[in-house]
Structure 1
Amino acid sequence: MKLLFTILIGLFICTTTVAQNFAKETEIFRQKYKQEFIKTDNSPLKKDDLQYLKFYDPDSTFQVPAIFSRAKNSQSFEMPTYSGTKKTFVKYGTIRFRLYGKRQTLTVYRSLSLQTLPQYRDYLFLPFKDKTSGNETYGGGRYIDLKTSDVKDGNFILDFNKAYNPYCAYSEGYNCPIPPKVNTMPVSVEAGEKNFGKEHEVSTK
C-alpha cells in the first residue's frame, strides 16, 4: 500500500511539473510574440495596445502529434486576402491529427515570395478557422507558423496554443490571407489568441 501511494505521489509530481513547464514555455512564446509588435515597422499595434491582447489559458490537450504528408506536383495559386489583393502560395502538404477524439485534416502552404528570403526559407503557413471564429476568436481566422525542420520522419507536434491573429484583426489596410475553406475545422479550438480586447472595426468578409 505504501509503495502504491509513493508511486501515485510521484506521478502527480511529474504531471504537475510537466504542466508547469508547458505553461512557462507558452508564456515565453507569447511574450516574444508581443515584443514583435514593437520591433516591426508596419505593426498595427503600439506598446500601449499590447494590454488588449487576449489568450486562452495554456492547454496541452491542444498540443497534438500530427502526421505530415508532402504534396506532390503542386501548382502555385493566388490566395485571396481581406484587402482584396492576392498572394502567391503553393500547397506544401497536409497534416492529419486527432482533436476531441476525432480525425482532423489541415493543409499547409508555402509562400513563394517569402521563400526567396533567407530568414523565411523554411517557413510554412497554416491558416485556419474553427467554431470559435467570429465568437471568441477573430472571425477572419487565425494562423500558425511552422518550419520544414519541424517535420521529423513525417511526424511533428502541432501546437494550437501558438495560434495567433492576422494583422487584420487589429486594423484595416493589411493583406491578410483568407483561410481556404478546406481549413475550416468543425470543432472549437479553444487555444491560442482570442479576439482583440480593444474596440475597432475590421473586415471579416
Structure 2
Amino acid sequence: MQKLFTFLLICCFLVSSAQDKTAETSKEFQDNLNYDYADKEKSPLTKEDLKSFKSLDFFPINDKYIVEATFVRTKKEKVFKMKTSTDRLPEYIKYGELNFTIDGVACQLNVYQNIELIKKPGFDDYLFLPFSDFTSGKESYIGGRYVDLRIQKGKLWIIDFNKAYNPYCAYNHKYSCPIVPLENDLNVEILAGVKKFHD
C-alpha cells in the first residue's frame, strides 16, 4: 500500500507540473514548483517543514545551463529494474543518450522511460533524466537531481538544467525515489536548478 501511495503521489505531481516543459520558461517552472510545494495537497514536505515553507532555494537562472545536446536513440535495450531509496524496483528502459558540452567538458547522460508511466494518457512521450554532478552533496542534494523531458524532434535536443529538481525523498523519508544510475554522474558542476533543502 505504501508503494502504491508513493507512486500515485509522484504521478499526481508529474501530471500537475510536467505538462509541457519545453514551452515553460525556467522562471515559470520554478514558480510552479514553489506553488506546488506550498500546497498541502501536493507538497512532499513534512507537516513541520510545510508550516515554515516560503520558497525552495535555487541557483540563479543561467542560460549557460540550457544546453543543446545531440540525441542518440539506442536500440535493443532491455527493461530493467531501477534501484530506489527503498526496496521498490520500478521498471525502466533506456530510451537514448544525450551528448553535450559544459565548461569544455564532454558530458553524456542516459535518458529513460518508466514502463508504467508511459502507459498513462499524455505520458507516452515522457522521459526521465536523473543526474548527479560535482555539486551533489555540497550545494545540491547528495542523491542527485531529476529533469523532466518530452521526446523532441530531430537529433538536437534542449536540456534546461534550471528545471532540475530534487527527488521527493530529499524532503521526506516516506517517499521511494529512483537512485541516479552511476553512468549519469557528470564530471562537471551544474550550478542550476534546485539546491539542497536543509544545510
Shorter-chain TM-score: what band?
0.7 to 0.9
Write the distance in 2 (CA, Å) between the matches of 1:122 and 1:39: 27
CA change 1:39–1:124 in 2 (3 A) is farther
Shift of 1:152: 2.2
Q: Work out the CA distance in 1 between the residues paired with 2:55 and 2:168.
A: 14
Question: Residue in 2 aligned with 1:62?
Answer: 65
Q: What pairs with 1:1-205 in structure 2 (closer than 5 Å)? A: 25-38=25-38, 41=41, 43-45=43-45, 48-148=51-151, 151-197=152-198
Q: Is the 8 A contact 1:52 1:196 kept in 2?
A: no
**Is contact 2:73-2:97 (8 Å) kept?**
yes
C-alpha contact 1:144 1:163 (8 A) present in aligned 2: yes
* Equivalent pair of 1:96/1:105 in contact (CA under 8 Å): yes
**Which amino acid letter does the alignment assign opposite residue 84 of structure 1?**
D
* TM-score, normalising length: structure 1: 0.78
Letter in 2 for 1:34: N
Alpha-carbon distance between aligned partners in 1 of 2:41 and 2:73, rounded to the nearest angstrom? 34
Count residues with an aligned counterpart.
173
Q: Choose 1 or 2 for highest CA Rg.
A: 1
Contact 1:83–1:173 under 8 Å retained in 2: no
Q: 1:189 to 1:114 in 2, by over 3 A?
A: same
The structure-2 alpha-carbon separation of the partners of 1:30 and 1:50, relative to structure 1 and needing over 3 Å to count, comes to farther
Unpaired segments of 5 or more residues in structure 2? 1-23
Provide the rounded CA distance (Å) in 2 between the counterparts of 1:85 and 1:133: 23
Unpaired runs of at least 5, structure 1: 1-23, 200-205
How many percent of aligned residue pairs carry the same amino acid?
40
